[in-house]
């Protein structure tokens, strides 16, 4: 894969803003948001081949919306002067902007080669589906278990439960009722989003182990790397996954102290699917499981994440079933969800059409 093919071909870059309403407000460290705002980008070569990308900044994870737009303004001058490599360098410190540009380059190159994006990324075999998890938000024990049963009926084999907004005992009761509702076959993950103290996480892990919970994601604040390592050492029955902690500490520090069994890779926050794929290959060699998820993105970035997951061998269920969190989207979704899996588009490039509005 080389998304920075610096040929003599003239590339025209453009972008336009978007705002996508959410079905429900999203709680973030900077407060609730009710829409995902960002920029759709497009590259067109001299033969009319098009590549799309998406930048959807998110407070606490990426640069601001204003900084993202300022970075995108630098792209065309850099393209004219030094080609794709110079353009990527011009946005390198702005991860959402870089995500958009690198995705557009990759989509363009895969379209030129008339191959699906995931095969352009990985040169592997044809992949028809990638497993995805159902995400269960905060709710009463009855609502949580009912949502998990509904996910099971739809064919999902893995559910991720959001916890941390209630007391620890209330959340544990929700997990108990969910396990009773879905039986032993459903894999359960729990995401605390940094909400627990070390003592609470210890208490939780004793129950989570008994309930056969597979993964506990980010139980402690991102800065508590040693704390995550201690939890992992003392409670081997439940895998510890880092999300926010990955961005704060990096892979080397996580491995040095043994803080994680798995890491959550968000391409938008890492600066692109190309970066995320390299990190996935790296952590896999180190014995750490990569899990791909989105930051509740529009269809362009979300489809890119599906292709990324398809390019990673033996990928576990990923957080890619997020389209229903949006009340509107940039265009038609080419990814179908069937029996707990995302059906990977087999058209050339991303396989996303009709998002620019004048095509």
Span 277-291, pLDDT tens digits:
999 999 999 999 999
Q: DSSP class of residue 325?
A: G
How many residues in the chain?
359
| Secondary structure E strands in the chain | 12-26, 33-44, 50-55, 129-131, 134-136, 158-162, 187-191, 213-217, 239-242, 262-265, 289-292, 336-338, 341-343
Q: Average pLDDT, stretch 81-102?
A: 97
> What does each C-alpha distance from 346 to 97, 111, 245, 249 come to in angstroms?
26, 11, 34, 36
Report the DSSP pairing between strands 289-292 and 336-338. unpaired
pLDDT digits 0-9 by tens, 181-213: 999 999 999 999 999 999 999 999 999 999 999
> Where residue 5 falls among pLDDT bands split at 50, 70, 90?
low
**3 pLDDT tier (thresholds 50, 70, 90):** low
Residue among 239, 227, 229, 233 at smallest CA distance from 259: 229
Residue with token string 């794709």: 84
Rounded-to-integer distance, Cα 238 and Cα 60, Å: 27
Contacts from 166-170 at CB under 8 Å and sequence distance 24+? Answer: 166/138, 168/196, 168/200, 168/203, 168/204
**Confidence class for position 54, pLDDT limits 50, 70, 90:** very high
Q: Rounded to the nearest 5°, which phi and psi values hold at 40?
A: -90, 130
Q: What are the chain's domains? A: 12-122 (3.30.390.10), 129-343 (3.20.20.120)
Residue 29: per-residue pLDDT: 59
pLDDT of residue 24: 87
Q: Is it the case that residue 7 has pLDDT exceeding 70?
A: no
Mean pLDDT, residues 162-180:
95
pLDDT at position 335: 97
Cβ within 8 Å of residue 278, ≥6 positions away: none
Crossing angle of helices 273-285 and 299-310, in 10° steps, is 30
Confirm if 264 and 160 have CB atoms less than 8 A apart: no
pLDDT recorded at residue 94: 98
Residue 9 pLDDT > 80, yes or no? no
Listed residue (106, 160, 177) closest to 348, CA to CA? 106
Q: What is the mean pLDDT of residues 132-159?
A: 94
* Residues of the chain above pLDDT 90, percent: 90
Q: Under DSSP, is residue 313 helix (H, G, I), strand (E, B) or coil?
A: coil
């Amino acid at each position: 894969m080389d998304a920075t093919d610096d040929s003599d071909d003239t590339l025209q870059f453009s972008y336009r803003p978007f705002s996508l309403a959410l079905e429900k407000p999203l709680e973030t460290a900077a407060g609730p948001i009710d829409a995902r705002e960002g920029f759709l980008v497009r590259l067109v070569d001299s033969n009319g081949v098009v590549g799309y990308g998406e930048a959807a900044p998110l407070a606490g994870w990426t640069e601001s919306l204003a900084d993202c737009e300022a970075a995108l303004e630098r792209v065309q001058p850099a393209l004219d002067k030094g080609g794709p490599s110079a353009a990527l360098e011009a946005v390198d410190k702005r991860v959402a902007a870089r995500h958009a540009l690198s995705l557009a380059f990759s989509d363009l190159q895969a379209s030129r080669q008339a191959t699906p994006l995931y095969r352009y990324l990985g040169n592997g075999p044809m992949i028809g589906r990638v497993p995805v998890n159902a995400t269960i938000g905060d709710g009463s024990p009855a609502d949580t278990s009912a949502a998990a049963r509904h996910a099971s009926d739809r064919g999902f084999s893995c559910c991720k439960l959001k916890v941390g907004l209630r007391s620890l005992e209330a959340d544990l009761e929700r997990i108990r009722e969910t396990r009773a509702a879905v039986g032993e076959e459903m894999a359960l993950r729990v995401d605390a989003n940094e909400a627990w103290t070390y003592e609470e996480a210890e208490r939780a892990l004793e129950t989570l182990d008994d309930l056969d919970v597979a993964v506990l994601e980010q139980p402690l604040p991102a800065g508590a790397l040693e704390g995550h390592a201690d939890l992992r050492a003392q409670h081997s029955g439940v895998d510890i996954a880092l999300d926010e902690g990955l961005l704060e500490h990096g892979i080397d520090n996580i491995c040095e102290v043994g803080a994680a069994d798995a890491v959550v890779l968000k391409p938008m926050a890492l600066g692109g699917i190309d970066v995320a794929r390299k990190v996935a290959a790296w952590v896999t060699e180190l014995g750490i499981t990569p899990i791909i998820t989105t930051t509740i993105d529009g269809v362009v970035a979300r489809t890119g994440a599906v292709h990324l997951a398809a390019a990673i061998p033996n990928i576990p269920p990923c957080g890619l079933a997020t389209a229903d969190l949006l009340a509107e989207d940039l265009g038609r979704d080419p990814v179908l969800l069937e029996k707990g899996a995302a059906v990977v588009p087999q058209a050339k490039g991303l396989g996303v059409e009709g998002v620019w509005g004048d095509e």
